[in-house]
Every structure is written in structure tokens, then in C-alpha cells.
Chains A and B, each alone.
Chain A
């Protein structure tokens, strides 16, 4: 392998020293490993197959500094973002830094842990799993998170325990004098037959550019059930590159829903790995973008054992000059028979200048499987618009209603009422702007 020069790595867009700030030995070791990988891995260019369509300018034209060097402003009162269902099951991170005052975890069942990773760094489970589920391959972003994170979320749900209240992980990003980077981190470990709902939110409080590189790792033991909603409402000038990964044991269920509303550049590489027979998982997405936003999802549904059911509905609405990219891979290993996997990418283009690239992919090595995939790119149907219009609705209102209907299905999977409400408001805001 040829030597990678520093100027070709992510470090050339980072204006601060990359140094481990973690106090614990185990996190420092991960930081060290990440740093080594970062220094050895070239930052992606359009020549890389997985980065062909995406314009990375909002990262490469910037120099991001650490939060300490960025002159960050106060978060102010963020209580408007609290979820009524999660008033005592909430962790708050401001620019990636844990904020104890704004967090509250008094409402947890016995044995359940929801806390700051750096405080739990020496917990057996953290030592065993943190950083082990993520995959580097040629990636620069997961190692970047590894290299610099110290705070983060640790969620542990013991055997046969159900956390009724949704666990709200609220990441807010404040205004700042300089563009900064943040590396939110989450480790979830659900023991056998545990059950939990995680609402992971990213909110830009101001309109500044920052680089948000979250890594989330989910380890589900047999029979564990997790509902994971990820709501990305970053600032419209921010860049967000996430690496969510889940590893499922037998009879586990993991249902994830990613909603993309914010960020100038959003790149999301969700990956779910079936680690034993009989699992059930969802990797749904809803993307609502306009202006010059870019949203790129590269997902992997990795079936390594027999008897799995998986489902991916990725819906995108694109207005103005926005650009949506989807590349979804379904892997089925040689002996993974009886996999039932469904994947669909539906794009609704509202403007002439919007762009869509979509590529659903199947790589199947087993012979007894039921896998389907498809992609559509369409505009609003003139006949549908006229139908509503002829009933007395203005043409504008008819269009709004149809876009709303397109998005609705994804919103209705949220399970948490206040989150559904919040997303419906976002959808209305998107359809009725200007």
C-alpha cells in the first residue's frame, strides 16, 4: 500500500490538534487506534465508487476546529426540544459534550443504565463492546470519531427488562465563531429479551457550519427489541456524516427510522448485521430536502444466517437544486437461506433542477431466499393534483397535500406521539414554505 500523505487525509480539513482528551485507559486506546487509521486513510474523492455522486465541498472548503477552539455560544433554553414522554429519560449533549444539568435519567427501571460513556468507560460491558461493532474498512469518518470522542451515550438494558419511556438522546449544536467538529457517540447493549425505544436527535440551534460525525453501535442479544428513531435537524449549513451500526443475535428485532431534514450535506451509512438465525429488522428513511441540500444514504443489510426478515423503505422528496443519493445493498451469505428482504427507494421530485441517483443492489449467494428491490423517481401526478384541485382546493394546496401524503407513512412509524407530532409539523413546514 502506498503511503497516504497528511494533506490527503481528513486532517487537512481539521484545524485543531487531534488529541485524546479521554481520561480512561479504554477510551484512550480507541482514540489511539482511530488516530492511526485516520492518518493512514485517504479522504474520499469522486474516484471512489461509494462517493461518486456526492459533492463534499461543504466539508473540504472548511477548516473545522475542536469545540474548545471554536468560540461556541451558549445553548440557551432548549427545553422546547424536550419530549414530554422522555422528561426523565433524557441525555443532552451540547456540541458533543455531555451536559449533566440538562439531562435527566431518574425515570429508569432498575438495572438500566443511561449515562455518559466517559463515566462508564470502565464498565465491563463498555470495555467489551465499545468500538468493536463499528467497521473501518476504507472509511475515514468512523475512525475520526474513534480518534476524538470522549463523551457519549451508554445505554444498557438488562435481561427481560422493558424501558417503557422512550430514551431521548438530544444532541444540540450551538452558534460559534468558527466551524467546529463534533463526534457524538452511542453504545447500546440490550441483553436477552430486553426492550427499548431510542430517539436520537441532532438539532442545529443556529445557522452555522459544523461537522457532525456521529457513530452509534447497537448490540442486541437474543430476543432484544429496539426501536431506533434518528432525527437529523442539523443546521442547513452543517455537514453530517453518520455511521450507525447494529449487530443482532437470534430473535432480535431492530427497527430504525432515519429522518433527514437538515444539514447541507448529509451522508448516512446505516448497517445492520444479522449475527444469528431468526432476526427482524427495518432500515427505513425519510428525506425532505430543498435549496442546495445533499442527502446520501449508503445502507447495508447484511444477512449472514438463515431465517431473517428485513425491510427498507427509503422515501425522498427533493425540491429546488437538492440532490438525493441512495445506494442500498442487500447481502445474503451462502448459507443464509429463507431470507425475506424487501427494499424500495421512492423519490418524489418537485423541481426541474433537483437530482436523484439511486442504486438498489442485491448480492445474494443463497438460493432459497425471497428478496425484492426497486426504485422509482416520479413527480406529483397531474391527475391526482387535478382531482383535488377540481374539488375546490387551490393547486398549491393540492400539491402540499400530496407531498404530505407521500411523507406520512414514514412519520407514522414513530411510535412516540410527540415525535410524530413534531415530524408532522416539519413536513408541513417543508411543504408550505415561502
Chain B
């Protein structure tokens, strides 16, 4: 579904290279987890994949269902079925969740020759998705993330994901800022959304999330690259020994510099 090949990216207009040759392949039905220390480039990877204009791809390519999307606008990527749950969702005063989601849902529907929903139909559809994440309906009419608590913002990202029904979602540290109850609710929600035709990439620092959403693959990102991939055991190893230990091992094996 998603294939990232030797991806290099820098900050637009500056000489700061952040991604230094990322390779990643995600198939339908899979759940991947990316872990890695602060500043290793995890969020940048998710933003580059979703088409953030702040970054420029200098080498490599991103393929989505075989199509090269490296130069595509963010909205077109969303139309193809890509979704990013932001690490830091912005507050957008004056635009309600409902307004954004209706506009987004219908734009995506149009782009895919699917039927648009009129306001009443959309309202029903929206309300039906509230359960996924145990969200109160008053959030629908509130300005996007405005005045939301940290946890509510993260839940709102997953709610948007449930409504827009993407094929591939990057969830960037959706677990941080959630208390244990919210973590369970959000994980439950993600598990309900996940199926054989969809893929999910979780970015996280904590193995705890992976107790609730079981990844098929775990990757470790350091200094702009994925330096090791494995299964859930890799996450457990990291939790026990930390990144330093991993880096040392890799150096001994001559796998990283």
C-alpha cells in the first residue's frame, strides 16, 4: 500500500536535512509502530508523507498503491486515502469540527466519485461515529480543538480518522497526553477502525500503547533513518535497555555509524 524508498527530506529553503534515507513498506491489513528518540525525524516522516509544504524531498520517492505521490498536494493525498493524526493538533478558532468534517468528507467523496452527504445525512453519519471514541456530541459544534484538553485533542484526531475513513493513517504520538482510561478508549477505537484493507502506522515512545494496539512490525528510527526493524520483541527490548544500548549493538555489528 505504502512504499517509501530512500527518502531524503530537508526543511524547505534551508540546509537542514532531516530524513536521510528512509525505507519503509506497509501493506494493507498491517499495523506498524515507529519508535525512536526525540528529534530523530518521526514527525517529519509523517508530515512529508502527508505532503507538508514545510519540507522538500531531495531524493527518493513515496509510492501509494503503486502511484508516485512524492510531489502531490496534501489534499490530493487525503483524497487517495492518507490521513495524519498530528502530534500537536492545532486549534482553529471559528471553524467547528462539523464544518471541517463535512467539507472534508464531501470533498473526498467528490474526488472518488462517491455520493456526497447532505447536511442531515451527514449529521446522522457523524453522530454514528461518536461511539467509536466515546465522544460527546457537543464536540461537534465546538471550534476545532479550541480550548480542548491535550487528551481531547488527541481523541478528536481519532474521531476525524473514523469519520474520513482513510486507507492509511499515521498516528503521531496519539497516546501521549492520554490518561489510562482514555488510552484504552482510543486504542479500542483504533482497533475498531483497523481491518484487512487498512493500514496504520503508530508513532510512539511508549510500549504501553502496543499492549493495546498490537503491531505487526516495529521500527526504530534514529537520526533520520530507520535503523532496525523487527516485531513486538524489539519494542520490549527498547523499553528494557533504551536506545543507547541498541545503537551500541548496531555499531558493534557495523550496521550504523
Q: Which residues of A contact B (CB under 8 A)?
A: 381-384, 386-395, 397, 401-402, 404-406, 408-409
Contacts and interface: CB of A to CB of B under 8 A. Distances in A.
14 contacts: A382-B54, A384-B90, A387-B86, A388-B100, A391-B75, A391-B101, A391-B104, A391-B164, A392-B78, A392-B79, A394-B73, A395-B75, A401-B103, A405-B94
Nearest to A390: B74
Contacts of B95: 388, 401-402, 404-405
Given A393-B104, A397-B103, A401-B103, A387 B50 contact: no
Contacts of A402: 92, 94-95
B103 A393 contact: yes
Contact of A409 (B50, B94, B111): B94
Top 3 closest A-B pairs, CB basis? A405-B94, A392-B78, A391-B104
Given A384-B92, A401-B103, A391 B53 contact: no
B203 interface: no
Contacts, number: 75
Interface string B88-103: 0110111100011101
B92 A391 contact: no
Contacts of A381: 90
B40 interface: no
Given A392-B75, A394-B75, A401-B99, 6 more contacts: A388-B95, A390-B50, A392-B108, A401-B95, A405-B92, A405-B93
A315 to B, nearest CB: 11
A195 B3 CA distance: 68
A350 to B, nearest CB: 16
DSSP class of A's interface residues: helix, strand, loop or mixed? helix
A174 to B, nearest CB: 37
Contacts of A393: 75, 100, 103-104, 107
Nearest to B108: A392
Instruction: Give the interface size class of chain B.
Output: 20 to 34
A392 B90 contact: no
A402 B95 CA distance: 7
A131 to B, nearest CB: 42
B192 interface: no
Contacts of A389: 73-75
B54 A391 contact: no
Interface in B61-87: 73-75, 77-79, 84, 86
A408 B75 contact: no
B65 to A, nearest CB: 17
B52 interface: yes
A294 B87 CA distance: 41
Interface in B105-164: 107-108, 111, 143-144, 160, 164
Nearest to A398: B75
B51 interface: yes
A397 B52 CA distance: 16
B100 A391 contact: yes
B144 to A, nearest CB: 8
A384 B93 CA distance: 10
Contacts of B92: 384, 387-388, 402, 405
Contacts of A392: 75, 78-79, 104, 107-108, 111, 164
Nearest to B163: A391
A390 B93 CA distance: 17
Given A382-B54, A386-B52, A401-B103, A391 B94 contact: no
